Amino acid sequence: MPCGISLVFGLRAAIYSIIYTVFCALFIDRGHQQNITEQVLIFTKDEDPELPRNIMARLGRGVPYWEGPPPAPPAAAQGSETATR
């Protein structure tokens, strides 16, 4: 490929293009790797109503909240219910 570039545009342009491409690739990779590092915390209990406020106050970040389905009754309660029928 560089031989084809040097034939069409000259050896100087080919060397410049190779150096430019290498440096661009290095800087883009470096910038991309710095943005990948992140930390995720998942809290599965909703027992402390102050927790989201503390997170927002200390970190300055929002706290998404997903409400799931209600918990299923314990297995023992289901078994006793069918036995009384």
- 19-48 per-position pLDDT tens digit: 999 988 888 877 766 666 667 777 777 778
Give the residue among 61, 7, 72 at the shortest CA–CA distance from 39. 61
Helix segments in 1-85, DSSP class H? 2-9, 11-36, 50-59, 75-83
Name the band, by pLDDT with cuts 50, 70 and 90, for residue 71: confident
The pLDDT score that the predictor gives to residue 61 is 78
Output the six-digit token pair for 8: 């069409």
Q: What is the pTM of this model?
A: 0.33
